[in-house]
Structure 1
Amino acid sequence: MSEAEMTSAWQPRGAWAGATHVGRHGSSHGEAGVRLLLREEIGLATIIVAGGREAALREILHDRLGWWLPEVGTTSIQGERGLVWSAPGQWLGVAETRRDLSSLQELLQGVAAVTDQSDGRAVVRVSGHRARAMLAKGVALDLHPRAFRTEHTAVTNIAHINAQIWQRDEGPTYDIMVARSFAGSFWSWLTHAAAEFGYEVERSSAR
């Protein structure tokens, strides 16, 4: 094997590489009921507050980034950047790319532990007029608007796979995050569940 061939074999791959195919799939009748947008460039970082430092964390995030800490089970995202509640004293920072979160560790030194999760997680955005009906097939959560609305989030199981879901708008549009090692299994379930409604797969463009 040539040096060029050996080098190319080790090129970085997105979390969805090899499992997904861009385009229209499933039922071909009418408009696709589900849209799946692969968030391959997304930046993710866990933020775990140090004991007794939540007030300091809140102040730094607000003053330096214009972010605010969301309450239990909610998000505080403006555009594509912000925070998702994950557990008591723990939040998920999200942004368009990992570069947009690169300053967090230094910014929060002594206040919170920051760990980059961009390569360890896979995120897909699910939308379309049949998105809620499709997700109801496997999400262990009541997604009816009376129970789960915009800015709500939950750590749950989807088809027996641990996941975190947060609702972006009343479309409805959801972002779903799973461990990278489960991306293939999750995608298999997701596409089978979406097939009867027809679904469109797209990739987010890198900046």
Structure 2
Amino acid sequence: MNATATTGKRAATRELILEHAYELARAEGLEGLSIGVLAQDVGMSKSGVFAHFGSREDLQLAVLEAGQLRFLKKVKWPALKSPRGLPRLRAIVANWVEWAQEYRNGCVLLTAAGEYDGREGPLHDAVTRQQAGWREEMCRAIGHAIENGELDAGTDPGQLAFEIYSLMLGLHHDAGLFGFEEARRHTLAGFERLLSSYRPDPSQRTAP
């Protein structure tokens, strides 16, 4: 077997392990990841798993990164096809709602934020970077809407991003308790009401 084939097989095995680890983390959280259970799932020894991920923490970090990539593919990147401003912000929220529906039985990113918010270490730092990066993306979309005159010039992007994020946390929370459709309805209604509160005041517009 040549070096290229060997490298390809190793990469495929790593992806297989990561896929199974991601599904386990959805159910048990990153802290619930068991190397023994994972090894059994993929038909490998524990040492075989460790050969691809040097430590349990390295595996957890890889799963967290995989979760972020899935989120960006589902939520951010498709929204970039929409025009800058409110159309893109609405697309982000619509895609985020779809994400919440798909992962209503377990979202690695959301669970990780709860697992590591009060801890120190590489996993806490990785979660913080991910969450801060997503807030920045939301602030950027909000900033474009402000530039377009679709939101009031005095809008604080960070505040509005926080409020949108809070709505989405409510969606995840209520979806499991009261059913997804009801949670979706409340979330989207709340989002539109929120945008209305940030609309420019027509009385403040200057005459041409």
TM-score, normalised to structure 1's length? Answer: 0.26
Question: 1 or 2 for the larger relative contact order (CA 8 Å, sep ≥6)?
Answer: 1
The structure whose Rg is larger is 2
**Larger strand proportion of the pair:** 1
TM-score, normalised to structure 2's length? Answer: 0.26
